[in-house]
A and B are shown apart, each in its own frame.
Chain A
Amino acid sequence: MAAAALCWALRAARQVLPSPCPRQVRSYYVDWRMLRDVKRRKMAYEYADERLRINAIRKNSILPKELQEAADKEIAALPRDSCPVRIRNRCVLTSRPRGVKRRWRLSRIVFRHFADHAQMSGVQRAMW
């Protein structure tokens, strides 16, 4: 299941798979909001180490307060898109911001569509 989801994610992520057999490849993101989310994820990945280290300086009681205030200013000066809080886990196929199950990265509607067509491995309608 993870493999299929990963497959979908790769295709949505604009990668042209280097294989000879013609496969459907999507080369655009679903919408601009998804693109902005992608940019934010990339920036957050780039600045993750720095943010971690500056936060380590800020959030401790050993170092002097002046140092911590200087670190405060520094982290505020970093670009806004570099903080991980701005990332929204959108649906990978439809870019829906709400109702997204984390395990499959799909919105509830798409999930239900695939599950009903028996395209989700190991997913069954609940009956008890």
Chain B
Amino acid sequence: KDKSAASKDSTPEGAAKRRGAGAETPKQQLLDIIGNMKVEVTYRKKLQQLKATEKKQAMNKLEGPDSEGSVPRGNTEDTQGGKPLNPELVKAASAVASSLPRNKKQTESELLAQLRRHEETTDKQKKGGTINIRNVISEMTVKRQSPAQRGARISSHISLHLDEDGQRERPKRSSALSMDSRRSLKVGKRLNIFTKASTEPEHALKTASSPTIWDLEFAKEVAAVTAQPPRNGFEEMIQWTKEGILWEYPIDNEVGMDDGAEFHEHIFLEEHLKGFPKEGPIRHFMELVVCGLSKNPYLSVKQKIEHIEWFQKYFEEKKELLQEI
């Protein structure tokens, strides 16, 4: 507990600085998760079942040094000794929990605890606190080994002739070694003698929140293997449509254009003329510009506003010139 308190005191500024950078990616990842909800429902359920069972074990075992990540503290509030969670993240977590069919309170608390742990482990890893990393790793490997290893295992099964490529060697080597010794290599505390910030925490961190590079590679491999050349003209046309070479029929004339803005946003553009002087030739000119823009069906509202703003900037720059006149 002293060690954790000391690390907490040393990292409040670091945490505050990295709050901006670190909070973006979890938020992004959460939003991605919310977006991919339908696809990954079973995986999420499994993960949470795993987490539910492991959490109880973890609570009993690692009470002392890992008190920051334990559930009872997590259930109380969102702010915690100098490391408050982003309120947007909390909202996103509650949205995710409410959209899941299971126990909402529990899922929400688990998500928040996971988020907190994620941020703390990133901070700790950056600071280089070996002891806490060790605990986190030991806890993480017990939980998340199977999903992380699953991709590596399957990709090693489908190993196409990619040995020459230096990228494939890493997971193959590590997965082969670990599978040979039946999980005896990865389990247990790391001494961190040879590698400083090993890829283990990043590996474990990224599995739940975003697909790892290896997962993406695996997906690409699978797609390359399963996608056979087209057997007939129809399949060729389907492939071309997917790639974007062929348009979709029946032809939609407004494919890239519809941005969902109402007609009044396109036509009534006088509100954007507030930065200009009320009288004079410039106002006359800008009114003509706005009239022309309102009749233009090809530009989006954003582009029209940008157009007007460009003129505003231009006339601002030319102010001295205009004063002389």
Which residues of A are interface residues toward B (Cβ below 8 A)?
3, 6-7, 10, 17-21, 49-50, 53, 56-57, 60, 62-64, 66-67, 70
State how many residues of chain B have any CB contact under 8 Å with chain A: 26
Distance of A53 Cα from B311 Cα, bound (Å): 8
B210 vs chain A, min Cβ distance (A): 22
Chain A residues positioned under 8 Å from B314 (CB to CB):
53, 57
Q: Does B310 contact A (CB under 8 A)?
A: yes
Q: Does B289 contact A (CB under 8 A)?
A: yes
Q: Which residue of A lies closest to B322 (CB)?
A: A67
Given known contacts A6-B245, A18-B243, A19-B227, what 11 new A-B pairs fall within 8 Å (CB)?
A: A20-B227, A49-B307, A53-B314, A56-B289, A60-B285, A62-B288, A63-B282, A64-B322, A66-B324, A67-B322, A70-B321
Q: Which residue of B lies closest to A64 (CB)?
A: B325
Q: Which residue of B lies closest to A18 (CB)?
A: B243
- Could you write out 16 A-B pairs with CB less than 8 Å apart? A3-B240, A7-B245, A10-B245, A17-B245, A19-B227, A20-B229, A50-B310, A53-B307, A53-B310, A57-B314, A62-B285, A63-B285, A64-B325, A67-B318, A67-B321, A67-B322
Main secondary structure of the interface of A (DSSP, over half): helix
A-B contacts counted at CB < 8 A amount to: 51
Distance of A62 Cα from B285 Cα, bound (Å): 7
Q: Does B1 contact A (CB under 8 A)?
A: no
Distance of A7 Cα from B310 Cα, bound (Å): 37
Whether the Cβ atoms of B282 and A17 lie closer than 8 Å is no
Distance of A56 Cα from B308 Cα, bound (Å): 12
Q: Does B246 contact A (CB under 8 A)?
A: yes
Chain A residues positioned under 8 Å from B321 (CB to CB):
66-67, 70
B239 vs chain A, min Cβ distance (A): 6
Q: Does B191 contact A (CB under 8 A)?
A: no
Main secondary structure of the interface of B (DSSP, over half): helix
Distance of A63 Cα from B288 Cα, bound (Å): 12
Which residues of B are interface residues toward A (Cβ below 8 A)?
224, 227-230, 239-240, 243, 245-247, 281-282, 284-285, 288-289, 307, 310-311, 314, 318, 321-322, 324-325
Whether the Cβ atoms of A21 and B229 lie closer than 8 Å is yes
Distance of A49 Cα from B309 Cα, bound (Å): 13
Whether the Cβ atoms of A3 and B307 lie closer than 8 Å is no
Q: Which residue of A lies closest to B287 (CB)?
A: A62
Q: Which residue of B lies closest to A52 (CB)?
A: B307
Whether the Cβ atoms of A17 and B285 lie closer than 8 Å is no
Whether the Cβ atoms of B281 and A3 lie closer than 8 Å is no
Distance of A53 Cα from B312 Cα, bound (Å): 12
Q: Which residue of B lies closest to A23 (CB)?
A: B229
Distance of A10 Cα from B245 Cα, bound (Å): 8
A90 vs chain B, min Cβ distance (A): 22
- The 7 A-B residue pairs with the shortest CB-CB distance, nearest first, are A21-B229, A20-B227, A62-B281, A62-B285, A62-B284, A64-B325, A63-B281
